[in-house]
Protein backbone atom coordinates (compact mmCIF):
# COMPACT_ATOMS: atom_id res chain seq x y z
CA UNK A 1 0.00 0.00 0.00
CA UNK A 2 1.31 3.42 -0.94
CA UNK A 3 1.42 5.61 2.14
CA UNK A 4 3.29 8.86 2.13
CA UNK A 5 4.72 10.33 -1.02
CA UNK A 6 6.35 12.35 -2.79
CA UNK A 7 8.72 9.73 -4.03
CA UNK A 8 12.36 10.89 -3.85
CA UNK A 9 12.70 11.39 -7.61
CA UNK A 10 14.67 14.55 -6.88
CA UNK A 11 16.08 16.08 -3.70
CA UNK A 12 13.20 17.10 -1.47
CA UNK A 13 14.39 20.71 -1.33
CA UNK A 14 13.40 21.02 -4.99
CA UNK A 15 9.80 20.43 -3.97
CA UNK A 16 9.18 23.44 -1.75
CA UNK A 17 7.31 26.62 -2.58
CA UNK A 18 10.46 28.69 -2.01
CA UNK A 19 11.97 27.24 -5.18
CA UNK A 20 8.94 28.21 -7.27
CA UNK A 21 8.93 31.68 -8.88
CA UNK A 22 5.33 32.68 -8.19
CA UNK A 23 5.19 36.23 -9.62
CA UNK A 24 2.03 36.17 -11.81
CA UNK A 25 0.82 33.05 -9.95
CA UNK A 26 1.16 34.39 -6.40
CA UNK A 27 -2.57 34.14 -5.60
CA UNK A 28 -2.60 30.59 -6.95
CA UNK A 29 0.27 29.58 -4.66
CA UNK A 30 -1.48 31.25 -1.72
CA UNK A 31 -4.60 29.18 -2.45
CA UNK A 32 -2.58 25.95 -2.44
CA UNK A 33 -1.00 26.89 0.88
CA UNK A 34 -4.24 27.97 2.55
CA UNK A 35 -5.63 24.47 3.22
CA UNK A 36 -9.17 25.86 3.00
CA UNK A 37 -10.31 24.44 -0.35
CA UNK A 38 -11.34 20.74 -0.29
CA UNK A 39 -10.78 20.36 -4.03
CA UNK A 40 -8.53 22.27 -6.44
CA UNK A 41 -8.22 21.67 -10.17
CA UNK A 42 -4.84 23.05 -11.29
CA UNK A 43 -4.44 23.47 -15.03
CA UNK A 44 -2.07 25.04 -17.53
CA UNK A 45 0.12 24.29 -20.50
CA UNK A 46 2.89 21.71 -20.41
CA UNK A 47 5.98 22.96 -18.62
CA UNK A 48 4.15 25.65 -16.66
CA UNK A 49 5.02 24.14 -13.26
CA UNK A 50 2.02 21.98 -12.31
CA UNK A 51 4.12 19.04 -11.14
CA UNK A 52 6.38 21.26 -9.07
CA UNK A 53 3.40 22.88 -7.38
CA UNK A 54 1.77 19.55 -6.52
CA UNK A 55 5.02 18.30 -5.01
CA UNK A 56 5.50 21.57 -3.15
CA UNK A 57 1.95 21.27 -1.79
CA UNK A 58 2.75 17.81 -0.43
CA UNK A 59 5.98 19.04 1.12
CA UNK A 60 4.21 22.03 2.69
CA UNK A 61 1.52 19.73 4.09
CA UNK A 62 4.04 17.42 5.76
CA UNK A 63 5.77 20.45 7.28
CA UNK A 64 2.43 21.21 8.98
CA UNK A 65 2.50 17.76 10.58
CA UNK A 66 -0.10 16.26 8.25
CA UNK A 67 -0.01 13.44 5.69
CA UNK A 68 0.26 13.88 1.93
CA UNK A 69 0.38 11.66 -1.13
CA UNK A 70 1.68 12.64 -4.57
CA UNK A 71 0.45 10.36 -7.36
CA UNK A 72 2.15 10.90 -10.77
CA UNK A 73 -0.18 9.17 -13.23
CA UNK A 74 2.51 9.36 -15.90
CA UNK A 75 4.15 6.55 -13.92
CA UNK A 76 1.15 4.98 -12.19
CA UNK A 77 -1.37 4.72 -15.03
CA UNK A 78 -0.06 1.24 -15.92
CA UNK A 79 -1.33 -0.02 -12.57
CA UNK A 80 -4.88 -0.76 -11.48
CA UNK A 81 -6.87 2.08 -9.85
CA UNK A 82 -6.79 -0.13 -6.75
CA UNK A 83 -3.69 1.89 -5.85
CA UNK A 84 -6.17 4.59 -4.80
CA UNK A 85 -7.55 2.37 -2.04
CA UNK A 86 -6.77 3.79 1.38
CA UNK A 87 -5.96 7.26 0.07
CA UNK A 88 -9.04 8.61 1.82
CA UNK A 89 -7.08 8.27 5.07
CA UNK A 90 -4.52 10.87 3.92
CA UNK A 91 -4.98 14.59 4.60
CA UNK A 92 -3.92 15.76 1.13
CA UNK A 93 -3.90 13.76 -2.11
CA UNK A 94 -2.30 15.33 -5.20
CA UNK A 95 -2.92 13.60 -8.54
CA UNK A 96 -0.71 14.73 -11.42
CA UNK A 97 -1.77 14.43 -15.10
CA UNK A 98 -5.28 13.23 -14.33
CA UNK A 99 -6.22 13.43 -18.02
CA UNK A 100 -4.04 10.38 -18.73
CA UNK A 101 -6.63 8.04 -17.22
CA UNK A 102 -9.83 9.88 -18.12
CA UNK A 103 -11.92 7.85 -20.54
CA UNK A 104 -10.99 4.59 -18.79
CA UNK A 105 -14.04 3.30 -16.95
CA UNK A 106 -12.22 1.61 -14.08
CA UNK A 107 -10.04 4.65 -13.39
CA UNK A 108 -12.94 7.08 -13.62
CA UNK A 109 -14.94 5.03 -11.13
CA UNK A 110 -11.93 4.82 -8.82
CA UNK A 111 -11.39 8.59 -8.97
CA UNK A 112 -15.08 9.28 -8.38
CA UNK A 113 -15.07 7.03 -5.32
CA UNK A 114 -11.90 8.64 -3.99
CA UNK A 115 -13.40 12.09 -4.47
CA UNK A 116 -16.43 11.15 -2.38
CA UNK A 117 -14.39 9.34 0.27
CA UNK A 118 -12.03 12.27 0.74
CA UNK A 119 -14.95 14.67 1.03
CA UNK A 120 -16.55 12.50 3.69
CA UNK A 121 -13.25 12.22 5.57
CA UNK A 122 -12.68 15.99 5.24
CA UNK A 123 -9.48 15.40 3.29
CA UNK A 124 -8.26 17.55 0.42
CA UNK A 125 -7.70 16.69 -3.24
CA UNK A 126 -5.62 18.60 -5.80
CA UNK A 127 -5.40 17.40 -9.40
CA UNK A 128 -3.56 18.73 -12.45
CA UNK A 129 -4.32 18.71 -16.17
CA UNK A 130 -3.36 20.72 -19.27
CA UNK A 131 -6.96 21.86 -19.86
CA UNK A 132 -9.75 23.29 -17.72
CA UNK A 133 -12.19 20.98 -15.90
CA UNK A 134 -14.99 22.12 -18.19
CA UNK A 135 -13.05 20.63 -21.13
CA UNK A 136 -11.99 17.39 -19.46
CA UNK A 137 -12.42 14.14 -21.38
CA UNK A 138 -14.18 12.35 -18.50
CA UNK A 139 -16.95 10.05 -19.73
CA UNK A 140 -18.57 9.45 -16.35
CA UNK A 141 -20.94 12.37 -15.94
CA UNK A 142 -20.79 12.26 -12.15
CA UNK A 143 -16.99 12.51 -12.25
CA UNK A 144 -17.08 15.30 -14.82
CA UNK A 145 -19.44 17.18 -12.52
CA UNK A 146 -17.12 16.64 -9.55
CA UNK A 147 -14.10 17.87 -11.50
CA UNK A 148 -15.92 21.10 -12.31
CA UNK A 149 -17.17 21.61 -8.75
CA UNK A 150 -13.99 22.81 -7.06
CA UNK A 151 -11.66 25.77 -7.28
CA UNK A 152 -10.24 25.96 -10.81
CA UNK A 153 -6.79 27.58 -10.92
CA UNK A 154 -5.02 28.34 -14.18
CA UNK A 155 -1.25 28.65 -14.15
CA UNK A 156 -0.14 31.76 -16.01
CA UNK A 157 2.99 31.12 -18.14
CA UNK A 158 6.11 32.79 -16.82
CA UNK A 159 7.26 36.02 -18.41
CA UNK A 160 10.83 36.21 -19.70
CA UNK A 161 11.81 38.09 -16.54
CA UNK A 162 10.28 35.39 -14.32
CA UNK A 163 11.93 32.63 -16.35
CA UNK A 164 15.31 34.31 -15.87
CA UNK A 165 14.67 34.40 -12.11
CA UNK A 166 13.71 30.73 -12.14
CA UNK A 167 16.79 29.48 -13.98
CA UNK A 168 19.12 31.65 -11.89
CA UNK A 169 17.50 30.33 -8.71
CA UNK A 170 17.89 26.74 -9.95
CA UNK A 171 21.52 27.43 -10.79
CA UNK A 172 22.13 28.90 -7.34
CA UNK A 173 20.63 25.82 -5.69
CA UNK A 174 23.16 23.75 -7.65
CA UNK A 175 26.01 25.96 -6.55
CA UNK A 176 26.42 27.52 -10.00
CA UNK A 177 27.18 31.19 -10.56
CA UNK A 178 24.97 31.96 -13.57
CA UNK A 179 25.22 35.66 -14.36
CA UNK A 180 22.46 37.55 -16.15
CA UNK A 181 24.22 37.52 -19.53
CA UNK A 182 24.55 33.72 -19.44
CA UNK A 183 20.95 33.32 -18.28
CA UNK A 184 19.71 35.51 -21.13
CA UNK A 185 21.83 33.50 -23.58
CA UNK A 186 20.11 30.30 -22.47
CA UNK A 187 16.71 31.94 -22.78
CA UNK A 188 17.31 33.26 -26.30
CA UNK A 189 19.20 30.32 -27.83
CA UNK A 190 17.39 27.26 -26.48
CA UNK A 191 13.80 26.05 -26.00
CA UNK A 192 12.05 28.53 -23.74
CA UNK A 193 9.98 26.09 -21.69
CA UNK A 194 11.24 25.89 -18.13
CA UNK A 195 11.69 22.09 -17.87
CA UNK A 196 13.99 22.11 -20.92
CA UNK A 197 16.01 25.00 -19.53
CA UNK A 198 16.37 23.29 -16.15
CA UNK A 199 17.55 20.07 -17.79
CA UNK A 200 20.11 22.13 -19.68
CA UNK A 201 21.26 23.67 -16.39
CA UNK A 202 21.64 20.20 -14.92
CA UNK A 203 23.94 19.29 -17.82
CA UNK A 204 25.98 22.45 -17.29
CA UNK A 205 26.18 21.67 -13.58
CA UNK A 206 27.56 18.19 -14.24
CA UNK A 207 30.18 19.60 -16.61
CA UNK A 208 31.08 22.26 -14.07
CA UNK A 209 31.66 19.62 -11.39
CA UNK A 210 34.14 17.84 -13.65
CA UNK A 211 35.95 20.89 -15.02
CA UNK A 212 35.57 23.36 -12.13
CA UNK A 213 35.30 26.24 -14.59
CA UNK A 214 33.31 29.44 -14.37
CA UNK A 215 30.03 29.37 -16.30
CA UNK A 216 30.46 31.57 -19.37
CA UNK A 217 28.86 31.76 -22.79
CA UNK A 218 31.82 29.99 -24.49
CA UNK A 219 31.61 27.28 -21.79
CA UNK A 220 27.87 26.87 -22.44
CA UNK A 221 28.39 26.64 -26.21
CA UNK A 222 31.07 23.96 -25.86
CA UNK A 223 29.20 21.85 -23.32
CA UNK A 224 26.00 21.92 -25.36
CA UNK A 225 27.91 21.10 -28.53
CA UNK A 226 29.58 18.10 -26.94
CA UNK A 227 26.72 16.79 -24.79
CA UNK A 228 23.34 15.58 -26.08
CA UNK A 229 20.47 17.10 -24.05
CA UNK A 230 17.64 14.66 -23.36
Q: What is the DSSP letter of 8?
A: -
Contact 87, 120 (CB under 8 A): no
pLDDT tens digits along 62-109:
999 999 999 999 999 999 999 999 999 999 999 999 999 999 999 999
Start-end ranges of CATH 3.40.50.300 in the chain? 12-154
pLDDT for res 11: 34
Report the pLDDT value the prediction gives residue 90, as an integer from 0 to 100: 95
Assign 172 to helix, strand or coil: helix
pTM of the model: 0.78
Q: What is the pLDDT of residues 36-57, one digit of tens each?
A: 999 999 999 887 889 989 999 9
Cβ-Cβ contacts under 8 Å for 172 (sequence gap 6 or more): 178
Please list the residue range(s) of the chain that carry CATH number 1.10.8.60. Answer: 160-226
What CATH architecture does domain 160-226 belong to?
Answer: Orthogonal Bundle (1.10)
Nearest 5°: the CA angle 199, 45, 149 is 135
- Residue 115 has what pLDDT? 96
The CATH homologous superfamily for domain 12-154 is P-loop containing nucleotide triphosphate hydrolases (3.40.50.300)
Each residue's pLDDT tens digit, 139-192: 999 999 999 999 999 998 888 888 888 888 888 888 888 999 999 999 888 887
Q: What is the pLDDT of residue 131?
A: 94
pLDDT for 7 beyond 80: no
What is residue 157's predicted lDDT score, i.e. its pLDDT? Answer: 82
Amino acid sequence: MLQQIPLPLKPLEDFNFNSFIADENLLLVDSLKANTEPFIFLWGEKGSGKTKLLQASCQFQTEQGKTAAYLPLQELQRFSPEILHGMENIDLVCIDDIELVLGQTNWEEGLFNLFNQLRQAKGRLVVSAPISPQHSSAKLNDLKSRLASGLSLKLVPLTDESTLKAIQLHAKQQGLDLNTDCAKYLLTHFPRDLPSLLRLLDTLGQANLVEQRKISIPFIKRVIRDTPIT
